[in-house]
Chains A and B, each alone.
Chain A
Amino acid sequence: MFQNIGEMLVLLWRTLQALPQTWRQRRKVSEQLFEIGNASLLMACILSLFIGGVIALQTGPVLVQRGISSFLGGIIGLSMCKELGPVMMAVLIAGRIGSAMTAEIGSMQVYQEIDALRTMNINPIRYLVLPRLVAISLALPTLVVFSVLVGWIGGALVCVYNRQIGISFEAYFSNLQNVVEFKDVFNGLIKSLVFAVIIGVVCCHQGLVTLGGPRGIGRSVTKAVVNSIVLILILDYLLTRVLLYWD
């Protein structure tokens, strides 16, 4: 599964080289952004609301028993912004947007559309990969901000209205404010930017190397999503390790 990492790094490098031409591709970037937002904003909110809620549900009663329920805001606040927000959103976007990227580029490869671009001297990296990578790198961190905010609210709702927990909004958010610093949120945003690049590069690369007909496209999509998610989880550990030094 990892034999293509070299090729992916080359693709990333070429895309970065094309970065100065992003302005010319701005229409395609905004099309992609619109598509990403359209496809995932609502789902991101629902997902985050419930994730925030479930951490509250899991940790709340235990903390109440030990008389330290005042820490709930901080616990939920940190876990959402440092870990769950970025990872959940990345997995969601890999499944929702990464798969679409692979399918679209893969079918263009299979049906010779990319060959046609080449014969017109249009670089497929500039034309196809660049706008997608830029769009996802802008969209994923933005979604994570949404997700973190909604997750905090989800946690708060459970903390306030669950009968076993029952702390006040004020207590929850004042603890959250005391514990969570700006750098914790920033930490999550850095992670999500890395995840966005992983999804973009893995899925575009897999699209470009698609072989065969519709079946090949199907295989490529599955492979791209699975590889993205595996890489995201591995990189998540490594990044967490590295970002700890910075704390």
Chain B
Amino acid sequence: MNTAAPATQNGVSVSVRGLWKRFADQPALQGVDLEVNRGEIFVIMGPSGSGKSVLLRHLIGLEQPDAGQILIDGQSIQSPGVMDRVRMAMVFQSGALLNSLSVGENVGLYLAEHHLKTPAEIARVVAEKLELVGLKGLEERSPAELSGGMKKRVAIARALVIEPQLILYDEPTSELDPLSAVTVAEEIMKLKRRIQVTSLVVTHDRDLAFGVADRIAMIRDGKILFVGTPEAVQHHSDPLIQKFITAEFNQTNPRNDL
């Protein structure tokens, strides 16, 4: 079981080695290799269906790979105890809030279930995290009464409560208005500064990616095409990558590739 979160805790490094995953009819990951450093904000971009969510699910142990390895601080996540020792959190693409609980209970769930704090302290932490994501005072609401973007922000608050060493965001700014998107981006940066958390951010949002990333990986059809700093991505010559990061709405010449 997880122990109480010390206030300052360094992030962990993540290595993915030759990860393969096939679902019944199609391959989702085809030999993914990645090295993510401690405390880094690592952004993964790529077209829809390229395997980004599947990759994140492997990292947090929700899927078992067909082949390959995931190392956290050099230790395989298969080896016993690693998943219990390292505090991880994931912000799901859909939010994945528990519908039978209130917003406040959702955010405080981790602390309550692991008996890490007293109910009064939990209430305080929940209020603080909700305020952080701009949802002050919504503790009593039910998730069904929230908009998509609000759910996403509650999910982020829920992840922050864990004080994770590794946090995985699956499209944290989709469904958010530009202002909330900026808030989320700032929060991702702040978290890195405050607790040196390692962050993996899957996103289509170019502003978010180039705004927060230390490095960016491009993934397509379950394969990593390229890893580099935001500048390197912007100046990369590969036409696919260029098309992806510069795609713009063009009425006279609609694109139908990519």
Bound-state CA distance A24–B1 (Å) is 15
Q: Please give me the 8 A-B residue pairs with the lowest Cβ-Cβ distance, nearest first.
A: A116-B96, A112-B96, A119-B90, A120-B110, A122-B113, A113-B98, A119-B60, A115-B62
Q: What CA separation (Å) do A15 and B162 show in the bound complex?
A: 26
Q: Check B92 against A121 for contact (C-beta < 8 Å).
A: no
- Fill in one digit per residue for A86-117: 1 if any B CB lies within 8 Å of its CB, else 0: 00000000000000000010011001110111
Residue contacts A-B, CB under 8 angstroms, 21 given: A107-B99, A108-B98, A108-B99, A111-B94, A115-B92, A115-B96, A116-B92, A116-B98, A118-B60, A118-B61, A119-B60, A119-B88, A119-B89, A119-B90, A120-B109, A120-B158, A121-B1, A121-B84, A121-B110, A121-B114, A122-B110
Complex Cα–Cα for A117 and B89 (A): 10
CB-defined contacts of B89 to chain A, threshold 8 Å: 119-120
Residues of A within 8 A of B (CB): 24, 104, 107-108, 111-113, 115-122, 127
Verify B100–A104 contact, CB threshold 8 A: yes
B65-97: CB near A (< 8 Å → 1, else 0) gives 000000000000000000110001110101011
Q: Chain B residues with Cβ under 8 A from A115's Cβ?
A: 57, 62, 92, 96
Q: How far is the CB of B121 from chain A (nearest CB, A)?
A: 18
Q: Does B229 contact A (CB under 8 A)?
A: no
User: How distant is B146 from chain A, measured CB to nearest CB, in Å?
Assistant: 14
Are B96 and A120 within 8 A (Cβ)?
no
Do A112 and B94 have beta carbons less than 8 Å apart? Answer: yes
B window 109-127: CB within 8 A of A: 109-110, 113-115
Distance A113 CA – B143 CA, assembled complex (angstroms): 12
Q: A119-B60, A120-B89 are in contact. Are A113 and B114 (CB under 8 A)?
A: no
Q: Please give me the residue from chain B that is nearest to A123 by CB atom.
A: B113
Query: What residues of A have a CB within 8 angstroms of the CB of B83 in the complex?
Result: 121
Shortest beta-carbon distance, B202 to chain A, in Å?
Answer: 15
Per the bound structure, the CA–CA distance linking A121 and B90 in Å amounts to 11
A119, B98: Cβ atoms closer than 8 Å: no
